[in-house]
Amino acid sequence: MVDRSVNSFREFLAMGGYAAYVWPAFGVTAVVMIGLVVGSVRALRRDERALAALDPRRTRRMDEAASGGEP
């Protein structure tokens, strides 16, 4: 039973002889997409932290100015 599931897992990893192409294709996709998310979230956090460090009242006034004077 265990032997059989180990074998079928090996078979799955082998991808019918195309493992050297299938896994790198999925791997590259995952690395690029995860990298993009991590980079984007980090940049957002950095700028939001920098904003929060400023005078909050001033920041609110800048908000109003940025949104065209609307409260």
Residues engaged in binding another protein (CB under 8 A):
12, 15-18, 21-22, 24-26, 28-29, 32-33, 36-37, 40-41, 43-44, 47-48, 50-51, 54, 58-59, 62-63, 65-68, 70
Q: How far is the CB of 23 from another protein (least distance, A)?
A: 9
Q: How far apart are CA 1 and CA 4, in angstroms?
A: 5
Q: How far is the CB of 1 from another protein (least distance, A)?
A: 19
Q: How far apart are CA 59 and CA 67, in angstroms?
A: 12
Q: How far apart are CA 38 and CA 11, in angstroms?
A: 33
